[in-house]
Structure 1
């Protein structure tokens, strides 16, 4: 197990202060090659009960839920319900809640799809996908994270060029919180090896040519040229705005 003792006395008084770069650098050095379960234990002990796991029920997210369960941790898990998630994603959410005996909090936008269409026009994702993502993902998550000490994600460096500098622990300027990416240095094959070895459930759409799964209107099967291919087809957009 990684030696994280020096970082477990994180002062709760420091939570509202921008974490010094030195502290983050120390965490990065200590945890970069630590086992997944050790990183999760460290995150829980360091940031307390208000840390949250943000899950879209992707393969990486399911690996994190399984590993957290294996440590005996029942974390706060949140999922952005945009109103246009695939039925398979929602079914997997229910399966994960039952399997790991957890509650997954659904975070919903302030506007319904009908209200959004009335204000911005129908099918906003086809005309201004960045605006749609901001309304249905970024702003709801920002409001939820206001009460969180830190958040855990499933992003990996090899998923896309926009994520290739991700660290296991980093300061998130988008949400002004510490962000923990325990799988940052994992490969695609390592994720799926874990899933098959541990028999972790996953979205069946992955077996139908979907390398990455988001909202129904913005996700298509692809030839697998990249791990983010199939998202926002016809646009240069590759991120919803949650990750820089």
Structure 2
């Protein structure tokens, strides 16, 4: 990460906050999201921050909520899935049905992530993510600024052009809290049963839903990634 890249990020975030008084940053508590959290909170930017507790996250991931409070003196919002919907799904399909089919995995993601996100975005006029282009094949065409037709909001991906090394240089230079699982071979971390450490040479998101085709590895929060991927493939 260069000083220019950091300065550009802060300028981008300030402009987003100016254009959208009700903007919110949806943090997965990943390394990228901790960089954005640091930028927002250390600069006192008027951007709300929330995360989704799916009920299946690693303890190390949840520990970052406390780490943020201790470091920055601020609590972030936590949104959770509907407990009754989760119980019905588990009763009908089992606690690990997501391994059985893509449809059941997407149903679980929709229930635990997409539905809470939809509630969290009510009343917002834009949202921010920590996605980057080089993370996976579904994100290679990621725009810095796009309209999210799924949620009906403007969507910003201010780290889209950042590289993996940029993220970690920022974390080390500014002593930003991060998930200790990153030091154990987990570059991308989701729900515990759906995440494994990656092997040398694997894609950064290879540990997410590793039993599925790489071109389908999105949870539904960023459905536009898959749509854009299909469009690009058709054009080529």
TM-score range, shorter chain: 0.7 to 0.9
Alignment of 1:242 with 2:221, yes or no, is yes
Distance 2:96 2:135 in 1: 27
Which of 119, 123, 126 lines up with 1:150 in the alignment? 126
Say which of 90, 102, 112 aligns to 1:117: 90
Superposed displacement of residue 86, structure 1: 0.4
Measure the CA separation in 2 of the matches of 1:218 and 1:143: 24
Shift of 1:34: 7.1
**1:46-91 per-position Cα deviation (integer Å, ceiling 9, x unaligned):** 100x211100110110000111123222531111111011000011
Contact kept in structure 1, 2:42 and 2:72, CA below 8 Å? no
Counterpart-to-counterpart distance in 1, 2:174 and 2:94: 45
Deviations 1:130-174 (A, max 9, x none): 111011111211122121110010001111121111121111122
The answer to whether structure 1 residue 43 and structure 2 residue 20 are counterparts is no
2:74 and 2:89 mapped to 1: Cα distance? 31
After superposition, the Cα gap between the structure-2 partners of 1:81 and 1:221, relative to the gap in structure 1 and judged at 3 Å, is same
TM-score (norm 1): 0.82
Residues 93-146 of structure 1 show CA distances to partners (whole Å, capped at 9, x for unaligned) of 210122122221111111354332124433232222111101111121112212
- Consecutive unaligned residues in structure 2, runs of 5 or more: 225-236
| Alignment TM-score, normalising by the size of structure 2 | 0.84
2:54 pairs with 1:82:
yes
SS at match of 1:138: helix
**What do residues 23-44 of structure 1 show as CA deviations (whole Å, max 9, x unaligned)?**
xxxxxxxxx9971111111111
Structure 1 unmatched ranges of 5 or more: 1-31
CA distance in 1, matches of 2:41, 2:10: 9
Q: What residue number does 1:133 align with? A: 109
1:55 aligns with 2:31: no
Q: Distance in 2 between matches of 1:114 and 1:242?
A: 22
The 2-side partners of 1:33 and 1:63 are apart by 10
User: How far apart are residue 177 of structure 1 and its match?
Assistant: 0.6
Q: Secondary structure at the match of 1:94?
A: helix
